[in-house]
Each structure stands twice: as C-alpha cells, then as structure tokens.
Amino acid sequence: MSTMFAADEAKRLLDAAIRGEMPDELGRFGPFGGRYVPETLVPAFERLDAGVQEHLHDVTFQQEFRRELREWVGRPTALTFAPRLSEIWGAEVWLKREDLAHTGAHKINNAIGQAILAKRLGAKHIIAETGAGQHGVASAAACARVGLPCTVYMGAVDIERQAPNVDRMHRLGAEVVAVESGDKTLRAAIDEALRTWVTDPAGIYYLIGSAVGAHPYPYLVRELQSVIGQEARQQMLDQAGALPDVAFACVGGGSNAIGLFYPLLGDDIELVGVEAGGTGPGLGQNAATLATGTPGVLQGSYSIILQDDDGQVQETHSISAGLDYSGVGPEHALLQATGRVEYISATDDEALEALEELCATEGILTALETSHAYAAAKNYAKRNPGKRILIGNSGRGDKDMPTLTKYPARTRKHAGA
C-alpha cells in the first residue's frame, strides 16, 4: 500500500498513533489536523480544549458516561454473525450492530458524551449540525437527557431527503434550522453552526458530529466513539474465537470508522474505509475525499479535501446524506498516508445493491451510508475467499425510506435468498 512518507517516517508516525500519542499538543496527527479558526473563536476552542483535558478522562466523568452508555444508549451493542451472507460470499461475516443503539446509529455515543461535557462546562445552549439526520436526532435526545436546549442546523437538501429524522428532532424538543446557503448539505450546515457559535462562544456549546474540525474535536470524537472498536474486539474474541482478518467501515467525516479502527490499529488486521463513489469519478459526482482529494484546510482542520486547482472547495454527491461531505477527519488522512488503512469507494448503485442483499438475506435494513461498506466487503470476499470479515453496521435505514422509495426494490434474486 502506498504512503506519502518514507517507510521509517510512516512507521514512526503509526507507532505514535498506536501508543495514543496523537494528536500532539498542537492537535496534529502528523502533518494533519491543527486549529485554523477565526480569532473570535480562539477563546471558545481554548476553553473547550481545557475542558476536555480536565474532564474527559476524569473518573467521575467516565463513570457518568459509561453509565449512560449502558443504561440509556443500550451498550454493548450486539456482534451478529451473518450466516446467509457468509454462505453467499464464501466468507465468515460478522456485523457490529450500532443500528441497535438508542436513536439508531453510532452517533449517540458521541452526542451523550459531549452533552455531559457541555453541562460540566456550564453551557446554556447546545448547537449541532447534521447531514443524514442521525447526529441531529442523537444531539436532540442527548440534550433532552441532560436538560439543555438544542438547535440543529441542517442543509435544505438533506432536510428534504431525511424527513423522518427531521420530525424526530422536533419531537425530541430540538429546533431545526434549514440552511439554504452553499451546497445546502452537511458542509453548509457546519459553516452555519460555526457562525452561530461566534455570537456567544461562552454560553453556546457546539456539539460536532464527526471526527472533523479544529482541535480538540477530532480527538474528542475519537475518544468517545472508540467504545465501538473496544467492544467489537472483545466480542470477536469471545464469539468468533479470533480477531477478524479485515474490518470495513463507511467514511464520510469518519466518526464511526475511527471508532471501530482506532482500538484495532495495533492488531494484525486489514482496515478498509469506504467512501461514497457517487455516480462517477469527476469533481461533484462523488464524495470520495481520500481517493481523489488533495491536502488543504476545511472548517478549521488541515486534512484531505475535495477542491479544484484554485483551492475552491467543491460540492459533492452521494445517495447517502451522511457521506456527502467535502472533507474527512485528519486522523483518517494520517492513517491513509502511513498506509495503515486502505480507503476505497463504492458507487450509489453498488450501495443500493448491497443494501438490498442484506435485507433479503439477513433481515437487516441498514443505512445507505453503511451499505457502502457492505458493497466493498463483498468485493473483498470475492477476491479473498474464507476470510473472517467484520463490518461496522453504523446505523439503521429507516431514515432512508424517502430516498429508497425512489428506487423500487429490484426483482433480482440473491443467491440463497
């Protein structure tokens, strides 16, 4: 696997990541990450950074966080063997079921952790952004749980295609603000949330939904989401009797993927992140940031982004709202650059076909985001028969029904179905 570093430098950086030494004190994952924010937001980020250092690994914070994960979120989530899919693919397929967590996706792990932190930092109001709507739902639920008002910014395009989640947010007590600027998707929603935070950085807490943005957010989200990989690793040993040969996760901003991958970095396991290949390889046709992007700064962090030759950030396309983002978390950029994780893409059509096969064979309606990982895992199984495969099933697909109804179920019969 190619890297952007010489072999010794790649090993040094990867070893540091495995030892938990990244990000460094400047919030950098090797050359990536950092903090590139307007001067008006510097005090807010410094206050947040200090709060993370003080509270995140404090015993009382961790006790409260773990209790909420256990008693409210419903962790540990199941590890499910997929017998019919395994037979069809010629592999041993296991699913880490984040779709079974409260609110239906991995997003709740991060949302409740940050909501607890916000309360400890004295915030009076929480704002959040969302693409697929799952982070918005999780934020609304977490804010209700801790007793803080919540406003969620969501692109107008995403509001249209994720109507069920918009209704859920309203019912959970959140205000949903439609963002009509920019590309009207996740990137525009993040921009609007940042603009709001500037107006009252002391009283507002910005609950970011993915492992992106300026330091300390990529670190904070990774730490809160690492429960996924920690559980999956032990469950594989307990239920399968061995670790997987390979683990797959879909990648937009990258929170569910880094949550699964980070605890597995030191193991002899192939790790594969799957981005949205959309309808083609051209700019604007996909959201395959790591496959086709270049280094640059987006929304406070130096990472890999989709931009033209003049450095203008490009609009993206994906059938899945949660992968429709022009950037990616800086830790993923490092893991690609060191060669530790392979990042590939799956198209809209491949994702739809994978979703359909999973429904027909295992009775699981997964999210369109997650179905990209299934598509890539199936292709891997064809080339590597008999392998033990772990797939991060990041969320359930109920939210995608307005989109799926535009693509009637195909009449093809899946082998064994």
CA atoms of 266 and 24, how far apart (whole Å)? 19
CA atoms of 206 and 81, how far apart (whole Å)? 37
- Tell me if residue 107 is catalytic: yes
- Tell me if residue 394 is catalytic: yes
Catalytic residue among 68, 92, 98, 129: 129
Buried b (16+ CB within 10 A) or exposed e, 37-48: beeebeebbeeb
For residue 216, cis peptide bond before it (omega within 30 degrees of 0): yes
Q: Which residues of the chain have pLDDT under 50?
A: 1-2, 411-417
Report the pLDDT value the prediction gives residue 416, as an integer from 0 to 100.
45
- Tell me if residue 362 is catalytic: no
Q: What are phi and psi of 108, to 5 degrees?
A: -65, -30
CA atoms of 372 and 358, how far apart (whole Å)? 12
Residue 31 DSSP label: T
- Could you tell me the strand order of the sheet in which 125-130 lies? 175-179, 150-155, 125-130, 204-207
Cite the DSSP H helix spans in 90-184: 107-120, 134-146, 156-161, 163-171
Catalytic residue among 96, 107, 184, 387: 107
Report the pLDDT value the prediction gives residue 163, as an integer from 0 to 100.
86
Report the pLDDT value the prediction gives residue 183, as an integer from 0 to 100.
82
Tokens linked to 200: 């009252």
Locus of tokens 């990541």: 17
**Which of 302, 324, 322 lies closest to 311, judged by CA?**
302
Burial (CB count within 10 angstroms: exposed 0-12, middle 13-18, buried 19+), residue 70: exposed
- In the chain, residues under CATH classification 3.40.50.1100 are 27-70+107-221, 74-105+225-404
**Which of 89, 48, 95 lies closest to 214, judged by CA?**
48
The length of the chain, given as a count of residues: 417
Catalytic residue among 86, 139, 255, 394: 394
**Which of 101, 112, 122, 98 lies closest to 68, judged by CA?**
112
Tell me which architecture the domain covering 74-105+225-404 has in CATH: 3-Layer(aba) Sandwich (3.40)
The CATH fold of domain 27-70+107-221: Rossmann fold (3.40.50)
Asked if 351 and 56 touch (Cβ cutoff 8 Å), the reply is no
Asked if 242 and 266 touch (Cβ cutoff 8 Å), the reply is no
The pTM (predicted TM-score) of the whole model is: 0.95
**Cα angle value 38/45/67 (rounded, 5°):** 150
For residue 23, cis peptide bond before it (omega within 30 degrees of 0): yes
